Amino acid sequence: MSNIESVLNETRVFPPPEAMVKQANVSGMAAYKAMCDEAERDFEGFWARLARENLLWSKPFTKTLDESGAPFYKWFHDGELNASYNCLDRHLKTQPDKVAIIFEADDGKVTKVTYKELYHRVCQFANGLKSLGIKQGERVLVYMPMSIEAVVAMQACARIGATHSVVFGGFSAKSLQERIIDAGAIAVICADGQFRGGKEIPLKPAVDEALAMGGCESIRDVVVYKRSGSPVAMNAPRDKWWHDVTQGQAQDCEPTWVNAEHPLFILYTSGSTGKPKGVQHSTGGFLLQAMLTMKWVFDYKPTDVFWCTADVGWVTGHTYIAYGPLAVGATEVVFEGVPTYPDAGRFWKMIQDHKVNVFYTAPTAIRSLIKAGGDLPKKYDLSSLRILGTVGEPINPEAWMWYHETVGGSRCPIVDTWWQTETGGHMITPLPGVTPLVPGSCTLALPGIMAAIVDETGQDVPNGQGGLLVIKRPWPSMIRTIWGDPERYKKSYFPEELGGKLYLAGDGSLRDKETGYFRIVGRIDDVLNVSGHRLGTMEIESALVANSRLVAEAAVVGRPDDMTGEAVVAFVVLKGHRPTGDEAKALAKELRDWVAKEIGPIAKPKEIRFGDNLPKTRSGKIMRRLLRAIARGEEITQDISTLENPAILDQLKQTL
C-alpha cells in the first residue's frame, strides 16, 4: 500500500454558487448532513422511507433489508413492482406529451418521442417479445446502436420480466458468443448496423458469426432492427425484423409485476481473471438509486434537458439513459455518433441546439476534445448548462479546470461521480448545491453509503493515508451476485482477508486530512482503465494466447497515457523465433487485429513487444512489476536477483 499516496496537492476550492444552493433539491451542507445522520441513526428506516417515497409498488414491501444470507443481501424483497411501469406508466397522466427522448443521429437528424409515444412503443415491442414466447426470468441479449430502440428493447424486457444483458456494440463476435453462453440467453435483439463518425458499422454479421461459433443453441430468436438498411443475411425462422415482430401488436401491455430482487439485468464487466463477470442487478434497489441520484446529484428539475453521453452498453448508459432519467420523468438526449464528427464541436453544438442543462461525460472525452479543439466551446451558446458531470476514471485537474471554465463558464458545479458497474449508481460524489469542489476529487459519499478506507486486514486507516476503498454496509443498488458464480462474487467483493463483511471496490484511495474528501488513485487489481472502459489484463492475455498458431505466452500491463488514462502494453513470446524489424511490425499488427476480433477494438494493445521469454521468478511467476516499469520506460530499480533469465530484459526494453 505504500505506493498509494497522493500524487496531487490540490488546494483550489470551488464553493457551490449561492443561487445553486438556494434552488437545489439537496440545499446546503446541513441538509446533506441531516440525511447522512438519518442513515446513521436508522439505516433501514432511511432506505425504507426513500423506497416508499420514490418507487411505485404493486405490492408494498414489509421488510427492508434481509442480511440472513450475507453477503447475498436482499432489499425490499417481499415487495413487488415493475421497472418499466415506474419509468413510463407513472408519467402517462401527469405529462404524456412531454418529450422523453431527443434522439440525434450520427448525421444530425433529430427524432423526438413523448412519454406517451415511448410507452406505446415499449408496450408494442413487449407484446412482440411475448409473441415469440419470451418469458419472465429468461435472458435476452441486446446488441444495439445508440438509439431510441435500444432503450425500448431494455424497457420492453423489463416490462415482461425478462432479464436483459446488453453487450456494447464495439465488442466482437467472440465476446458476444461468450456472453450468450454464460447468460444462457434465449434471444438476441440487434440492429443491421450502426452509424458512427459518418461510417456504417455492421452489427448483425457479428451476431451471425457468434451464433455460428457453436455453444449458442439456447438462442431461439434474433430480432433485427433496421437502422442502416444495408443488406443482411436473415436466417429463417430464427431471424425476424423488429418491424414484423411489432406489427399488429397492441399498444398496451400489462406489466409483469416482479419481486424487488428480480434480476433486472446482467452486465458483463472485467475482473482480474480472464473471464468477464456477469454483474447481476436487482429491480427495486437498482431503480431506487437511479432515481435518487438523478434528484440529488443531477438536481433533476422538470424543465431540465439531461444528456449522458455514455453508450447503453456500459452501466452508465443503463442507469443514466435507460432507467434513471425516465423514472424521474426527464427529457433526455440520446446520441448515436461520436464527439469528433463532423468536428470536435459536436457536443457543444448539441448542447446549444437542445438547450442541455445537465451534461454528463467522461474525462477521456474531455481530454480528447481539449486536444482536438480547446477553443471550440467558445463558438457555441452554452448558457443553458447548469451542472456538469464526469465518470469513469479520475479526472486530472487541468482537464477539470478546462471543463469548468470553458464549457461551464465558471458557473456550473462539476459532479465527479465515483461508482462502478457493481454499485449500480453514484456512490461518492459532490452534490451541486452542497459540496465545495476540489478538482480531481470525488469528495464525499452519498447519504446511506458507508464508504471508508482500510488496510489489507480490514482496519480503518486515518485520513491522509492510502488504502483500499470499501463500503461497510450493503446498499440497495449493489450487485446481487455474479451470474452463475456466487463463489466468485464472495471472493471478489467480500474477501475473507478483510473479514468477509466489507465490500471491496478494487480501487486504491485516500481521504484528505482536513476535509475527509476521497481521492481515487486507481485499481488495485489486474484491471486497466482505458478511456473509462474496464479491461482485464488477463482477458487480453487469454485473447493473445488463444492465437495458438503464433503465440506461446503473453503478459499484459498498463501504462499511463495522456489521452486514454491508461494504455495497453503487451509482451509476447511467439512460437517461432523472436521477430525483429518489418517482420515484428507485421506480426504486431496481426496480433492487434486479432485482439480486436477476440474482444473488441477497445482492447487492442497500443504497443506490443516481443521477447524470447518473459521475466520470471525461479518458481515461474511472471514479474509484472518489472514489465510495468519497462512499459513506462522507467529505470529498473527492483531487485532482479530472483529472476531466472535477466538477459531478456534488454530484449523487452526495445520498442518496435
Q: Which is nearer to ligand 7RM, 259 or 390 (CB)?
A: 390
Question: Applying CB under 6 A, which of residues 71, 392, 439, 448 lies at the interface with ligand 7RM?
Answer: 392
The binder of ligand 7RM chosen from 77, 164, 534, 597 (CB under 6 A): 534
- Residue 415 beta carbon to ligand 7RM: minimum distance, rounded to whole angstroms: 9
Q: Give residues 488-517 in contact with ligand 7RM (rule: CB under 6 A).
A: 505-507
Q: Applying CB under 6 A, which of residues 125, 419, 489, 571 lies at the interface with ligand 7RM?
A: 419
What Rg value do the Cα atoms of the chain yield, rounded?
24
Determine how β-strand 551-561 pairs with β-strand 199-202: unpaired
Distance CA 82, CA 254 (A): 10
| Alpha carbon distance 225, 431 (integer Å) | 39
Determine the distance from the C-alpha atom of residue 213 to the mean position of all C-alpha atoms in its chain, rounded to a whole number: 27
- Smaller CB separation from ligand 7RM, 284 or 392: 392
Minimal distance, residue 529 CB to ligand 7RM, in Å: 6
By beta-carbon proximity to ligand 7RM, the closer residue of 89 and 416 is 416
Indicate the length of the chain as a whole number: 656
554 binds ligand 7RM (CB under 6 A): no
Going by DSSP bridges, is the β-strand pair 527-530/518-523 parallel, antiparallel, or unpaired? unpaired
**CA–CA gap between residue 235 and residue 188 (Å, rounded):** 13
CB of 290 to ligand 7RM, least distance (A): 13
Piece in contact with ligand 7RM (CB under 6 A), picked from 119-127, 411-419, 540-548, 638-646: 411-419
Minimum distance of ligand 7RM from residue 308's CB (angstroms): 11
Minimum distance, C-beta of residue 246 to ligand 7RM, in the bound complex (Å) = 32
Residue environment code for 525-541, b if the CB has 16+ CB neighbours within 10 A, otherwise e: bbbbbbbbbbbbbbbbb
Stretch that binds ligand 7RM, among 74-82, 351-359, 414-422, 471-479 (CB under 6 A): 414-422
Strand pairing category for 80-81 and 99-104: unpaired
Nearer to ligand 7RM, 81 or 568 (CB): 568
For residues 338 and 197, is the Cβ–Cβ distance under 8 A?
A: yes
Query: Cell match 511467476: residue?
Result: 621
Total binding residues for ligand 7RM by CB under 6 A?
22
**Which of residues 408 and 506 has its CB atom nearest to ligand 7RM in the complex?**
506
Check residue 416 for interaction with ligand 7RM (CB under 6 A): yes
Q: Which amino acid is at 360?
A: Y
- CA 171 – CA 543 distance, rounded (Å): 13
149 versus 416: smaller Cβ distance to ligand 7RM: 416
Q: Which is nearer to ligand 7RM, 143 or 418 (CB)?
A: 418
Please identify which residue in 391, 468, 528, 540 interacts with ligand 7RM, judged by CB under 6 A. 391
Q: Which lies closer to ligand 7RM via its Cβ, residue 12 or residue 22?
A: 12
Number of alpha carbons in the 13 Å side-chain half-sphere of residue 516:
7
Minimum separation from the CB atom of position 189 to ligand 7RM (A): 22
Q: Are strands 358-361 and 565-574 parallel, antiparallel or unpaired?
A: unpaired
Asked whether position 520 contacts ligand 7RM by CB under 6 A, the answer is yes
The pattern of x and - marking residues 138 through 177 that bind ligand 7RM according to CB under 6 A reads ----------------------------------------
CA 272 to chain CA centroid, Å, is 17
Helix (H, G, I), strand (E, B) or coil at 399: helix
Angle 190-289-24 (CA atoms, 0-180°, nearest 5)? Answer: 115
Q: Which amino acid is at 530?
A: V
To the nearest whole angstrom, how small is the minimum distance from the Cβ of residue 315 to ligand 7RM?
5
529 binding ligand 7RM? (CB under 6 A): yes
List the alpha helices (DSSP H) in 382-526: 397-402, 486-493
Using CA atoms, how far apart are residues 86 and 81, in angstroms rounded to an integer? 8
DSSP 8-state secondary structure symbol assigned to residue 510: E
Name the residue type at position 353: D
Name 367's Cβ contacts closer than 8 Å, sequence gap at least 6: 396, 399, 562, 563
Q: How far apart are CA 376 and CA 24, in angstroms?
A: 30
Is the Cβ of residue 46 or residue 419 nearer to ligand 7RM in the bound state? 419
Q: What is the dihedral of CA 627, 628, 630, 631, to 10 degrees?
A: 110
Nearer to ligand 7RM, 82 or 564 (CB): 564
- Interaction mask 326-345, ligand 7RM, x per CB under 6 A: --------------------
Query: Nearest 10 degrees: CA dihedral of 362, 363, 364, 367?
Result: 130
Closer residue to ligand 7RM (CB): 310 or 649: 310
Q: Report the alpha-carbon distance of residue 186 to residue 203 in Å, rounded.
A: 18
Task: Classify residue 109 as exposed, middle or buried by CB count within 10 Å of its CB (0-12, 13-18, 19+).
Answer: exposed
Output the nine-digit C-alpha cell for 199.
Answer: 461510417
Minimum CB separation from ligand 7RM for residue 279, in Å?
Answer: 8
Regarding 442 and contact with ligand 7RM (CB under 6 A), the answer is: yes
Stretch that binds ligand 7RM, among 29-37, 386-394, 399-407, 539-547 (CB under 6 A): 386-394
Q: Which residues contact 553 (CB under 8 A, 6 or more apart)?
A: 545, 572, 573, 613, 614
Q: Which is nearer to ligand 7RM, 261 or 507 (CB)?
A: 507
Of the candidates 47, 171, 418, 517, which one interacts with ligand 7RM according to CB under 6 A?
Answer: 418
**According to the binding rule CB under 6 A, does residue 269 interact with ligand 7RM?**
yes
- The distance of closest approach from Cβ of residue 362 to ligand 7RM in the complex, given in angstroms and rounded to an integer, is 8
Residues 320, 291: Cα–Cα separation, whole Å: 9
Rounded to whole angstroms, how far apart are CA atoms 321 and 329? 12
Q: What are phi and psi of 453, to 5 degrees?
A: -120, 130
CB of 564 to ligand 7RM, least distance (A): 13
Q: How far is the CB of 469 from ligand 7RM (least distance, A)?
A: 8
Query: Pick from 182, 221, 261, 393: which binds ligand 7RM (CB under 6 A)?
Result: 393
Q: Which stretch binds ligand 7RM (CB under 6 A): 35-43, 123-131, 526-534, 596-604?
A: 526-534
Contact flag: residue 316 with ligand 7RM (CB under 6 A)? yes
Chosen residue from 420, 463, 638, 645 binding ligand 7RM by CB under 6 A: 420
Stretch binding ligand 7RM (CB under 6 A), from 30-38, 136-144, 387-395, 618-626: 387-395
Binding site for ligand 7RM (CB under 6 A): 269, 315-316, 391-394, 416-421, 442, 505-507, 520, 523, 529, 532, 534
